[in-house]
Amino acid sequence: MVFLLLRRLVQTALILLGVAVITFLLLYALPADPARMIAGRSATAQTVANIRRELGLDQPLLAQFWNYLQGLFQGDLGRSYAQKTDVGALIAARLPATLILMAAGIAVEVVLGVFLGVLAAVRRGGFVDRFVMMASFVGVSAPQFVAALLLLYVFAVTLAWFPMSGFGTPAHVVLPALTLGVLGAGWYARMVRSAMIDVLNQDYVRTARAKGLSSARIVFRHALPNALLPIIAMIGIDIGQFMSGVVVVEAVYGWPGIGQLAWQAIQQVDIPIIMGVTLVSALAIVLGNLIADILAPLVDPRIRAR
């Protein structure tokens, strides 16, 4: 385990460095000039040149990257071009909202997905199965924007059960989490269903049935734990995905997450923020996978034995 962690630590550092290099080069290769965006229409050439110099954009690309890396090693993500504020602080201010939405979204996904997946597997070929599979198909292919607006219209505008927009109380998180969860649950349901069908066809399940165990006991005690492995891997991936921000859902519900920050930074060519958000999401993806790797052997002893 210690060896795994160490190896992952080195991998993480290398991945982050790679992400930093690629993002940096891509952003500065873009045909858009941050100094020009800050300066606006009425600025003179001199003003633009001054802004460029103050931001260090007049230096060679390698020198700029080296400066950035030096800051990064000291935990400094730089200052936003447009907001003139510490990027680390801007991201930190949005982390709580992002984490809450991530946790709530994944919770809905997992609970709903596992429940429907098990139901479909047990009733394989029947009406329930076909309904779940169709619903999950709709779920995974529905655009987030449409789903978000639909939920908002039904539950916030018409029924007024939940607030339309904002952040702060548990009621605020329900609709955004439902949007993410209901759509994402489709993947989980399909995954659980196929894993469960595999497991339910195994010899030990037949043995359990032969012993005369109740259906419920077979499904939940013997079969399900063995079908959960892919779910854990998927949670790892989702952590990374949600941490990089769910721009559309955040926009519809006015959720102050990282996605909003990134979206606006892209519009303004605010490179330090784009870099910071990219690095944070890369880190989250790596961490999410690490969590999955650590959890997997705990759930499934067969991996430990390997």
Partner 1 sequence: MFKRWLRNSTVATALLLAPLPAFAQDAPKQGGEIVITYKDDIATLDPAIGYDWVNWSMIKSLFSRLMDYTPGTTELVPSLAESYEVAPDGLTYSFKLRKGAKFTNGREIVAADVKYSIERAVDPKTQGPGAGFFGAIKGFDDLTGGKTTALEGIEAPDASTVVFHLSRPDATFLHVLAVNFASVVPKEAVEAAAGDFGKKPVGSGTFILRDWTVGQSLTFERNPDYFIKDMPRIDKFTVEVGQEPLVALLRLQKGEVDIAGDGIPPAKFLEIKNSPEGAEIIVDGQQLHTGYLTLNTKVKPFDDVKVRQAVNMAINKERITRILNGRATSANQPLPPLMPGYDKGFTGYAFDVEKAKALLAEAGHPDGFETILYSTNTDPQPRIAQAIQQDLAAVGIKAEVRALAQANVIAAGGTEGEAPMIWSGGMAWIADFPDPSNFYGPILGCSGAVQGGWNWSWYCNEDLDARAVAADSMSDPAKAAERQAAWGKIFTDIMADAPWVPVTNERRVVAKSPRMGGAGEIYVDPTRVINYDAIYVKQ
Q: Does the CA dihedral 217-219-222-224 come out positive or negative?
A: negative
Nearest approach, Cβ of residue 284 and partner 1 (Å): 18
Q: Does 266 bind partner 1 (CB under 8 A)?
A: yes
Q: Does 59 bind partner 1 (CB under 8 A)?
A: no
Q: Does 191 bind partner 1 (CB under 8 A)?
A: no
Q: Does 85 bind partner 1 (CB under 8 A)?
A: yes
The separation between the first and the last C-alpha atoms of the chain, rounded to the nearest angstrom, is 13
Nearest approach, Cβ of residue 66 and partner 1 (Å): 22
Q: DSSP string spanning 197-242?
A: HHHHTSHHHHHHHHHT--HHHIIIIIIHHHH-HHHHHHHHHHHHHH
User: Closest CB to partner 1 among 36 and 123?
Assistant: 36
Nearest approach, Cβ of residue 166 and partner 1 (Å): 7
Which one of residues 25, 30, 134, 303 is an interface residue with partner 1 (CB under 8 A)?
30
Stretch that binds partner 1, among 17-25, 36-44, 107-115, 119-127 (CB under 8 A): 36-44
Which one of residues 15, 16, 27, 43 is an interface residue with partner 1 (CB under 8 A)?
43
Q: Does 256 bind partner 1 (CB under 8 A)?
A: yes
Q: Could you tell me the two tokens for 141?
A: 């292919």
User: Closest CB to partner 1 among 12 and 83?
Assistant: 83
Nearest approach, Cβ of residue 94 and partner 1 (Å): 5
Please state the length of the chain: 306
Please state, in angstroms and rounded to a whole number, the distance separating the CA atoms of residues 171 and 18.
40
Q: Does 29 bind partner 1 (CB under 8 A)?
A: no
Q: Could you tell me the two tokens for 69?
A: 């890396």
Q: Does 54 bind partner 1 (CB under 8 A)?
A: yes
Q: Does 152 bind partner 1 (CB under 8 A)?
A: yes
Please state, in angstroms and rounded to a whole number, the distance separating the CA atoms of residues 129 and 64.
57
Phi, psi of 86, deg, nearest 5: -60, 125
Q: Does 275 bind partner 1 (CB under 8 A)?
A: no
Using CB under 8 A as the criterion, which residues of the chain lie in contact with partner 1 when the complex forms?
30-33, 36-48, 50-51, 53-55, 82-85, 90, 93-94, 97, 149, 152-153, 157, 164-167, 250-257, 260-261, 264, 266-269
